[in-house]
Amino acid sequence: TALHWPPAPLALKEKPRRIRVRLDYEGGRVTFYNAENMAQILQFEAPFAEKVFPYFWLWSAETYIHL
């Protein structure tokens, strides 16, 4: 589930090992892709009126992140 309201269940065919994030500030979109095959995972649409900062939340202790 994506962390926003209302909840958005993710229907993934495979668990991505790498995720690419694209911010279109002027267009008001943030899109998440599977970085290996560029399959779109999820897209948020919202007007941005101020600066946008990244926020990462890992759901389990077994999960790790490389930036």
Instruction: Judge residue 10's burial from the number of C-beta atoms within 10 Å of its C-beta, 0-12 exposed, 13-18 middle, 19 or more buried.
Output: exposed
Q: Is pLDDT of 6 > 70? A: yes
pLDDT for position 27: 94
d(CA 28, CA 22): 11
d(CA 33, CA 14): 12
d(CA 52, CA 31): 14
SS3 29: strand
Which range, of 15-24, 40-49, 50-59, averages the lowest pLDDT? 50-59
**Which sequence spans correspond to the domains of the chain?**
11-48
Of 1, 37, 2, residue with least CA distance to 17: 37
pTM here is 0.74
